[in-house]
Structure 1
Amino acid sequence: MPEVIFPGPDGRLEGRYHPQKVKDAPIAIVLHPHPQFGGTMNNRVVYNLHYAFHSLGFTVLRFNFRGVGRSQGEYDQGIGELSDAAAALDYLQSMNPNSKHCWVAGFSFGAWIGMQLLMRRPEFTGFVSVSPPADRYDFSFLAPCPSSGLIINGSADRVAPPADTTALVNKLHEQKGITITHKEMDGAGHFFEDPMMDPMIEEVKQYVSRRLTETTR
């Protein structure tokens, strides 16, 4: 998988780009957890999400937000990180101009950034939010949420309490025209430590595969 360096709004950004041989393959961008708490594109959840999408036929890009790894810049309270994600999507789309489907997946802080990106970019056809930190970040911007997607969390999550995730899902359920699928995995923590990682990834793959089948009929 080639390492890539592409221009961001505050300097170069470092990523891992995993193309398919098919020119019009769907594309997906994967966003990592909080930079100030050790989050990088090599986080296990992010890494496994990346390969899950690739195994389903997606061309995938994951990258380090500003100030992480070889990405230039400094942490910017989520504002700059959202701009980084938009720049990464621009790069991914420039490499795959014929792609018909575009997805965003994010873990924890990356889920919050991913949902904001979803609001700004109408080309997204689906999303996956893993362990969204609905207790500490405001998700009220999802009014209305522009795309159907999967929200997945653990019942034993001590970082992002399950009750807050359920409240977020219930608000989104009230909106018309989209379908939010919610999966709370019994016994899983915030990071889906083993043995919960594989079942979580399998849930994601089944959901995305089903959505792809529906859109290609």
Structure 2
Amino acid sequence: MPEVIINGPEGRIEGRYQHSKETNAPIALLLHPHPQHGGTMNNRIVYALFRAFTKRGFSTLRFNFRGVGRSQGSFDRGEGELSDAASALDWLQTYNPNAAGCWIGGFSFGAWIGMQLLMRRPEIDSFISIAPPASTFDFSFLAPCPSSGLIIHGEKDDLVPVESVQKLVNKLSHQRDIKIDYRIIKGATHFFNDQMEELEAAVSDYLDTHLEETLIPQPKR
């Protein structure tokens, strides 16, 4: 898949991009876990999301936040990383001006950044948040949440208690016209070490169901 370089707020942003063969295909932006704890765009959960979206005909971008890999800058406690994500979405939209839809996906820290971007960009139609760190980061900005989406969490997450994510899901689900598909993967820890197959199946099922409902043309697989 082609490597791309994006002009970000702190300089170069390194990314990987797969352009769809479908005309006016929807777009998806994917965000990786915490930069200070080894998170990169090559994280296997982020890559699994990348495969799921590209397989369904999306033009899909994943990238390294500032200070990770070949991306310039240094960690900025989430504020700068949100700006990086906004720049990456701008780039994605520039190359796909007539996209049929816009999705965002993120894992852990990336889920937190993705939900913040969701609040700032009304063109985002839906989201996939995997293991959102509801016990360590503030999600109160989701008031109201502008889009429905999928939240996946591990039953035995050793970093983010399932109860904290349940509270977040309850809060979002009570908002008008918002539907949260909440799936708990049995036996899974924060990194889904032995449950990647179940995780990918949950993502695929949600995407297939949602795309059928919205009648987005699907490529032959």
Q: State the TM-score, normalized to the length of structure 2.
A: 0.96
Q: Percent identity?
A: 61
Cα distance in structure 1, aligned partners of 2:22 and 2:55: 13
Report the alpha carbon displacement of residue 34 of structure 1 after superposing the two structures with TM. Answer: 0.2
Matches within 5 A, 1:53-132: 53-132=53-132
CA contact (8 A) 1:23 1:96 kept: no
The equivalent of 1:207 in structure 2 is: 206
CA contact (8 A) 2:4 2:17 kept: yes
Cα distance in structure 1, aligned partners of 2:170 and 2:41: 30
Cα distance in structure 2, aligned partners of 1:178 and 1:170: 11
The residue type equivalent to 1:71 in the other structure is S
Report the alpha carbon displacement of residue 152 of structure 1 after superposing the two structures with TM. Answer: 0.2
Cα distance in structure 2, aligned partners of 1:5 and 1:160: 33
CA contact (8 A) 1:14 1:63 kept: yes
Structure 1 residue 181 and structure 2 residue 181: aligned? yes
Report the alpha carbon displacement of residue 23 of structure 1 after superposing the two structures with TM. Answer: 2.7
Report the alpha carbon displacement of residue 213 of structure 1 after superposing the two structures with TM. Answer: 1.2
Structure 1 residue 12 and structure 2 residue 29: aligned? no
> Following superposition, which runs of at least 4 residues in structure 1 exceed 3 angstroms of deviation?
none
Q: State the TM-score, normalized to the length of structure 1.
A: 0.98
Report the alpha carbon displacement of residue 208 of structure 1 after superposing the two structures with TM. Answer: 1.3
Question: Which residues of structure 2 form unaligned runs of 5+?
Answer: 217-221
CA contact (8 A) 1:27 1:103 kept: yes
Structure 1 residue 159 and structure 2 residue 191: aligned? no
Number of aligned residue pairs: give it: 216
Report the alpha carbon displacement of residue 100 of structure 1 after superposing the two structures with TM. Answer: 1.4
CA contact (8 A) 2:67 2:73 kept: yes
The equivalent of 2:38 in structure 1 is: 38
Coordinate RMSD, CA, aligned = 0.8
What SS is found at the alignment partner of 2:204?
helix
Query: 1:99-158: per-residue Cα shift (whole Å, max 9, x none)?
Result: 010000000000000000000000011100000000000001000000000000000001
The residue type equivalent to 2:204 in the other structure is K
